[in-house]
Structure 1
Amino acid sequence: MKRSLLLLACIAYSFGSRAQGGAQTYNFTVADAVNYAYSHQASVLNANLDIKSAEYRVKETTGIGLPQINGTASFTDYLKIPTTLLPGEFFGAPAGTFIPVKFGVKYNSNLAVTATQKLFDGSYFVGLQASKTYKELSARAYTRSKIDVNVNVTKAYYQVLVNNEQLRLLDANIAQLKQQVDQTTAQNKQGFVEKIDVDRIDVQYNNLLTTRENTLRLLALNYQLLKFQMGMPIENNLTLADKLTNIDLQQNTADMAVDTSFYHKRIEYNLQETQIKLNQLDLKNKKAAYLPTLSANASYAASYQNNSLGDLYRNNFPSAYVGLSMNVPIFNGFQRKNQVRQSKITVLKSENDLQNLKNSLGLEAAQANVSYLNGLQTLNNQRRSQELAREVLRVAKIKYQQGVGSSIEVTQAQTGLEDADNKYIQGLYDALVSKVDLDKAYGRIQY
């Protein structure tokens, strides 16, 4: 079975230092494992946090259209009051002369409140639409993360089931080979068979024991991989409630072959549609830059002035105003025009990407269909080969016991059965994985 031992070893190492105390025990079906992953897998949790972040972004954008109120306060101590030169003739002095005069007082303080309110801004309304679409994009990204987790957990679950089936076959072979070892050893002691016959069987028996030990270690790592995909602490105990017999590998592919709109069920297609909407809103925003903006503003300020710091806030000189301000874009060197053109190109490119994605999803579905059918046929052939190999071994043992066959024939038949078992295990795993890939390709995996 082609597995990345390096990945599994890294996962085992990264979690190997966790404390064993407080471990919990779970008995999960594949559906239970997937649901657990929805609540604990980091990628799903982060995608859910992105939705919350998008909600806050909508509120942030909405807040732009609400009144903006600011308060200011200032205090000034004129260590030297500014001097202003006035023409001397104002005071009867000769023309061309200037008299220095100081205006103001030593201490000044100002308290003010200003408020602005957007009355019309095309970009603001487009921004509201875009922020809601961005929230939709985050929600669909969350769906995609759950589908990916579903696929990864299901495949990891099936890998453990297949490993358990491999152990079952190994145990059966070891049991029957142990019986054969005992019989051959007894026959050797009685002088009916040669020592080399015993040695040949011993070699096979020891090889099977080694294979079983290796499979057990790989099974432990695959359990850790399953927990990793689920977001479950490695120290927890997990057993599988589903069996291989619970999995129906037979699917009606004829219905899927005529389903030409399956790509609408694929989250990747939905994500690209949402991206097009965002690009269209960006284009709309660029066009809104041609429109004028109108806002209302108001201010109230209290001014305090005095030469005595203790009496500074005794006298107030207030001021207040309300008004409107309009900004009319006239000419900016054709920047807006070229920005609109760029956004139009972006929309066209995203539409082309959508069409290409549609074709890509169709190809993926066709490949998944072929892989699934090939996997089923291969699995069925491996089952028949496994049965034939088992029958060949049975006949070879009978011939050997009756003295018309050799131990070499038995050894070769045993090797043939082990090879058939290995190919069956590989075919079983490939068929299970191709079933998951097929369900994903046709948009059957939902959360």
Structure 2
Amino acid sequence: MKYKYLSLIFCLFSVVSVKAQLTDSLASFSLKEAIDYAQNHQTSVLNATIDEEIAKNTVKQTIGIGLPQVNGNVNFQDFLKVPTNLLPGEFFGQPGTQVPVQFGVQYQSSFGLELNQLLFDGSYLVGLQASKTFKELSNKNLKRSRIETAVAVTKAYYSVLVSNEQLSLLDANMARLKKSLNDTEALFKNGFVEKIDVDRLTVLNNNLETERGNVIRLLELNVNLLKFQMGMNIQFKLALKDSIGSLQVEESIAVRDTTAYQNRIEYSLLETQKKLNELDLKRYKSLFLPSLSAFGSTSRSLQSNEFLSLMDRSFPTTVIGFRLSVPLISGGIKTYQVRNAKLEVLKTENNLVNLRNGINLEVEQAQTVYRNGLKSLENQKRNMELAQEVLRVTKIKYEQGVGSSIEVTTAETSLKESQNNYINALYDLLINKVNVDRALGKIVY
């Protein structure tokens, strides 16, 4: 018993050790690697893959309806009281009376095989076509899940990159401001500046430290969001291989594309849904047709008043035949089913027109927003560079005694504001680029 507990404790320590190694290990991903990882681990993709397998099995299940159906049966009966019937006494020379007579034996048993084969059924033929279209629909659903996962991972990845860039700018600001604060404190000790000059820079430094802490927490949240979109355990450590500098921003995008809807998986899904609705209409129409099937059965009946001699006497039976079912009157049910199916097809056609117009509008909006974002990013980048130059000149004037500390703190504030505007414009541009690619149907997985 002692060794048993020791073995159990060892196993528990082993599990904890392995889990700790997985948690402490650092995984590094590029954007493409992160998307590829998500395609194999994201729950929505995994469930869509399962749905595709279910659709394949459904097709085979439908095909099986038209294959031979064979059933075996065994029956055993013990008549504790054999049924009794009354017969006219004339049969037994007793006119005017009724004589009780028992028919059958106490023990009866039978066993046999039944075969059914569908020869013609219009709804079955349509069902075969519909099952294949349903399989196609599930395949496209999987594709849509893969695309949506790629979009979500890309946006989350860009969020982490932008947060890293924002943190780098803050670190550079803090290093520069810390040097200015130290220099100003030295000047104050020597009586060259007033204490209020030190206080102004101290306030700026404190604000930067607070903002840096907020950005670090936001960065951690964005990393966890990226892990979630990838289907990765939140406890694992994740690093990014790509950087803002490695991203290529297109300065021009394609002109208005009125055929982009043909590349969108949503439009393709709706087209497949239209096929299913048309097949549903065809199925309801086929219900007016007769169905034909063949059947056959063979069995052997055993009867005896003695259980031990039940197998001594047997009586075989074999039958084959055809069964034709012709629908005659259904109370108008089938007629209204056909009418409703036609209306469903019409609704799908309307939805296709609406989706086509919606996608064209989405493309135009995404391209317009992207162009505006590109101009905004260029402008904010110039503003940031100008704010850096203004701060540099202001500090030189201050150090030479021809400028004031208020000008320095104002320049520091303007630089921080321009950097925040640049970060926001950069993030918006990256997200808008993903939206443009998605609208044009360029994201394919």
**TM tier, smaller:** over 0.9
Q: What is the SS of the residue equivalent to 1:404?
A: coil
Residue 126 of structure 2 corresponds to: 126
Counterpart-to-counterpart distance in 2, 1:247 and 1:365: 22
| Deviation, structure 1 residue 314 | 2.2
Quick one: which of 427, 430, 435 aligns to 1:429?
Answer: 427
How many pairs were matched up?
Answer: 427
1:280: which partner in 2?
278
Q: Deviations over 1:378-423 (max 9, x none)?
A: 1111111111111121122122112222111111111111111111
Cα RMSD between the aligned structures? Answer: 1.2
Measured against aligned partners, the alpha-carbon deviations of 1:221-262 in whole angstroms (never above 9, x if no partner) come to: 211111110011223222111121222212532x341x3211
Distance 1:245 1:418 in 2: 20
Aligned twin of 2:354? 356
User: Which residue of structure 1 aligns with residue 7 of structure 2?
Assistant: none
Question: What is the correspondence of 1:6-405 to structure 2 with a 5 Å cutoff?
Answer: 20-23=20-23, 24-95=25-96, 97-253=97-253, 255-257=254-256, 259-405=257-403
Identity %: 53
Instruction: Name the structure 1 match of 2:15.
Output: none
In structure 2, what residue type is equivalent to 1:229?
Q
Contact 1:109/1:305 (CA < 8 Å) preserved in 2? yes
> TM-score scaled to structure 2, two decimals?
0.94
Uncovered stretches (5+) of structure 1, i.e. residues with no partner? 1-17
Kindly state the Cα deviation for residue 110 of structure 1 after the two structures are TM-superposed: 1.3
Change (3 A) 1:322 1:251: farther
Give the Cα separation in 2 of the matches to 1:263 and 1:232. 33
Deviations 1:137-156 (A, max 9, x none): 00000000000000000001
Q: Distance in 1 between matches of 2:231 and 2:390?
A: 46
> How far apart are the structure 2 equivalents of 1:251 and 1:383?
15
The one-letter amino acid of 2:154's match is: T
The CA deviation at 1:211 is: 1.2
Tell me by how many angstroms 1:19 deviates. 5.0
Structure 1 CA distance for aligned equivalents of residues 286 and 424 of structure 2: 60
Extract unaligned runs of 5+ from structure 2: 1-17
The question of whether the paired residues in 2 share the 8 Å contact of 1:181 and 1:202 is answered with yes
- From 382, 395, 409, the equivalent of 2:407 is 409
Task: Write the deviation string for residues 61-110 of structure 1: whole angstroms up to 9, x where unpaired.
Answer: 00000011111111111111000111111112123x21110011111111
Contact 2:88–2:95 (8 Å) recurs in 1: no
Q: Say if 1:256 and 1:442, in contact at 8 Å, map to a contact too.
A: no
Deviations 1:334-357 (A, max 9, x none): 211111111000000011001100
Q: Which runs of 4+ in 1 moved over 3 A?
A: 18-21
Whole-angstrom distance in 2 between the partners of 1:77 and 1:399: 116
Q: Tell me what 1:7 maps to.
A: none
Does the CA contact (< 8 Å) of 2:251 and 2:374 recur in 1? no
Aligned AA (2:51)? D
Amino acid at match of 1:202: T
Q: What's the offset of the Cα at 1:269?
A: 0.2
3-state SS in 2 of match to 1:446: coil
Q: Which whole-Å CA distance do the structure 2 matches of 1:123 and 1:105 have between them?
A: 46
CA contact (8 A) 1:19 1:235 kept: no
> Which range is displaced more, 305-314 or 436-445?
305-314
Secondary structure, aligned partner of 1:162: helix
What is the Cα deviation at residue 214 of structure 1? 1.7
Which amino acid in 2 is paired with 1:308?
A: E
Letter of the structure 2 residue corresponding to residue 207 of structure 1: N
Secondary structure of 1:192's counterpart equals coil
**Mean CA deviation greater in 233-242 or 64-73:** 233-242
Letter in 1 for 2:39: Y
Q: Tell me the secondary structure at the aligned position of residue 170 of structure 1.
A: helix
Which amino acid in 1 is paired with 2:344?
A: T
Q: Is the 8 A contact 2:117 2:293 kept in 1?
A: yes
- Maintained 8 Å contact 1:20/1:235: no
Could you tell me which amino acid in structure 2 is paired with residue 203 of structure 1? V
Cα shift at 1:29: 1.2
Q: Give the letter aligned to residue 195 of structure 2.
A: K
Amino acid at match of 2:155: K
CA distance in structure 2 between the aligned counterparts of 1:127 and 1:297, rounded to whole angstroms: 22
Letter in 2 for 1:309: F
Measured in 1, the distance between the counterparts of 2:199 and 2:207 equals 12
Match of 1:10 in 2: none
Do 1:389 and 1:417's aligned partners in 2 also have CA atoms closer than 8 Å? yes
Cα distance in 2 for partners of 1:143, 1:291 equals 38
Paired with 2:241 and 2:22, the residues of 1 have a C-alpha distance of 22
